[in-house]
Structure 1
């Protein structure tokens, strides 16, 4: 699976980075971004990689706890996906720092992140929640709630919003990320199915679901309602 996976992802990366570094650079895409959207991206883009980075650890924990070969293959693919996504999200800042007319905020993204208004809540939802608790709780937070309920609608909505503001960089990266997400939701489904018939596990599963939905929706729902 790793060999076939690498071949598939290599083709996607060639298309994505080829578009960014050749086509969009020649067209001066970085300077066609609406100034207000460019400032918005300085606030948003600096913490995206953190969620992906912690998703690596959560997926690896699931791989380590699984016994079925099919599940281990799915979790392994997700570990590799999340490594790829971490680089992709960091590359958005890198690209803006090189090609946007005002790079401040992108070329010091970690400093901007630390003083940004969204960081503390996002860290709890995107980062801490993915790696806190046992493997099943991490799966529920990451795959079942985080990715299926919030990440995918957010990615799709942001690509449309970015395009409307002249940003072709963010959709190029986000839509490439989105091509991997179905696999992650399938992993979450398989995690739940594998333990659903165990009465002892079912009791804790309901608690994990309630906690995950509460932790994530209490931050995401007001934020998304305000933004979109």
Structure 2
């Protein structure tokens, strides 16, 4: 039975209560307050829903993750990064990145990054939890991604690309910086061909929860300055 969250409580059900079909649906309801979102990620779930739906909270099994040391950068992508065609910055324009991620996609109708979601993650950015990566081409924003940093973990949310390989360069640059800061795991939530090509793989939800327990409260020394 699906759990409905109360607005005055920040408690989520145990992860093993998530449904098998649809895979990982854990709870519904509640709100998108910063405190609830922080608790959700610490618990191992994330919001994902469309306009007109209640807020839905998910914890899929298995979970798609990337271990920084397993990042795969193709020879051609590495060459493009060395050429310096694109400039990569961090936390330069979070609002522009999340707005671009919410834009229309050729393969999907509508967006799950609603206006309310954008406002919620902008608040998390103001609180120092949410961060962005921007990829620029001669001053124009052509790619990027955003997510949350907590302890030695990074929870990726969404990325976009308006130029060839822009999002891959942004992601690879992020992984290298996170690894230098001591981050041990990047949560990618669900598998895509794009992420798998970069080295992402699936682990059991129970194993993912163990990483949360061990690393959420460890110090993160990632440099978020551009």
Give the structure-2-normalised TM-score.
0.27
Give the structure-1-normalised TM-score.
0.27
Larger radius of gyration: 1
Q: Higher relative contact order by CA 8 Å / sep ≥ 6: 1 or 2?
A: 1
Q: Quick check: which one's helix share is greater?
A: 1
